[in-house]
């Protein structure tokens, strides 16, 4: 099978971060579910490009560092997006990064949505805040979102089950995805093309 690409957005502000921990757990589970597939993973820590995101919003132009992150996300076969929940919704940094993406760039993108918070009270934020955002962008969020409260890290049975279920849903869509192939260099010669004899020349 053709190699697949997986992008991971981690919007945690602290280091170490429970948001990054959840992103890593979701990535590991997805890779297990994609057993037998060669997967190239790129993790985008938004705290590392926070100033670049702000400058992009002010000037309309991404820095080379931010442009690399944007290209990794928009050209992937699948995306894992994890944010801390602040004031009942995704973080400002997470939304600002999404705002600098081309509105059409996530069309058809399989997305696994994850979030972290201090209490279980914010567990519905994935469905009332994150899911509508990605649906608006014509992405394809998997049915299972994964929310991890502080208490979940002490008794992980339920969290592990949600992670494995969501990862399996994402893996199935990534296996079928051809996004990374279709976004490759449009000027590249088609496979089998020979400049002397045309297609299939020996």
Please report, to the nearest 10 degrees, the dihedral formed by the alpha carbons of residues 36, 42, 47, 53 taken in order: -140
> Which CATH number characterizes residue 126's domain?
3.40.50.360
DSSP code string of 127-162? IIIIHHHHHHTT-EE-S--EEEEGGGGTS-HHHHHH
- Geometric angle at alpha carbon 76, from 47 and 46, rounded to 5°: 5
Q: What is the pLDDT of residue 2?
A: 81
Radius of gyration of the chain (CA): 18
Tell if the pTM clears 0.75, that is, is over it.
yes
Question: 3-33, pLDDT tens digit by residue?
Answer: 999 999 999 998 889 999 999 999 999 999 9
Q: What is the pLDDT of residue 197?
A: 47
Tokens of 194: 């020979």
Q: What is the pLDDT of residue 78?
A: 97
* Average pLDDT over the chain, rounded to an integer: 89
- Could you say which residues of the chain have pLDDT below 70? 1, 156, 183-202
**Taking a C-beta distance cutoff of 8 angstroms, is the pair 96, 57 a contact?**
yes
* CA 18 to chain centroid: 17
Q: What is the pLDDT of residue 181?
A: 76
How many domains is the chain partitioned into structurally? 1
Q: Which of 166, 159, 95, 78 is nearest to 129 (CA)?
A: 95
Domain that holds residue 184: 4-199
């Amino acid at each position: 099978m053709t190699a697949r690409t997986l992008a991971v957005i981690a919007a945690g502000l602290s280091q170490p971060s429970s948001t990054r921990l959840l992103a890593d757990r979701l990535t590991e589970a997805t890779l297990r579910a994609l057993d037998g597939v060669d997967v190239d993973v790129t993790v985008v820590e938004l705290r590392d490009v926070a100033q670049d995101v702000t400058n992009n919003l002010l000037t309309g132009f991404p820095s080379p560092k931010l442009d690399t992150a944007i290209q990794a996300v928009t050209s992937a076969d699948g995306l894992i997006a994890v944010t801390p929940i602040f004031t009942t919704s995704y973080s400002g940094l997470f939304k600002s990064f999404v705002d600098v993406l081309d509105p059409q760039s996530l069309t058809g993108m399989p997305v696994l949505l994850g979030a972290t918070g201090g209490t279980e009270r914010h567990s519905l934020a994935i469905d009332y805040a994150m899911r509508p955002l990605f649906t608006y962008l014509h992405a394809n969020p998997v049915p299972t979102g994964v929310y991890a409260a502080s208490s979940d890290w002490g008794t992980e049975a339920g969290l592990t089950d949600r992670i494995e279920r969501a990862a399996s849903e994402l893996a199935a869509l990534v296996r079928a995805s051809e996004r990374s192939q279709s976004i490759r260099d449009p000027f590249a010669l088609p496979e089998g093309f020979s400049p002397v004899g045309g297609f299939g020349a020996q």
